[in-house]
Amino acid sequence: MNSSTPSIQFFDGIYEQLSDVSLRKNRSSGARIVLMTFESLKAIEQFNSYRNRFSQSMVLTDEEGVINMTPSSIKFRFGGPE
């Protein structure tokens, strides 16, 4: 990907555009949480996630390069007017 816009891949070849990110820490447990917000997910549009392999990690891409991260857990929450 030759763009300076940061993106994330959960599935191989499907680049998701990040809308917002916030970092949080649970005061009682000390667990660190990264909350990422997306306006839409290309992986669920037209069932793309069924046609592409889950990468087992998050692939973060920006103008400085590529980072592969394996999160300890991932939760998807869907919200909005729909």
Rounded to two decimals, what is the model's pTM?
Answer: 0.60
Q: What is the pLDDT of residues 33-56, one digit of tens each?
A: 888 888 888 877 766 666 666 667
User: Which residues, other chains included, contact 44 with Cβ-Cβ below 8 Å and sequence gap of 6+?
Assistant: none
Residue 27 pLDDT > 50: yes
Burial call 20-54: b when 16+ CB within 10 Å, e when fewer:
eeeeeeeeeeeeeeeeeeeeebbbeeeeebeebee
Q: How confident is the model at residue 1 (pLDDT cuts 50, 70, 90)?
A: very low
Alpha-carbon dihedral 75, 76, 78, 79, rounded to 10 degrees: 50
Structure tokens at 80: 């909005």
CB-CB contact of 54 with 38 (8 Å): no
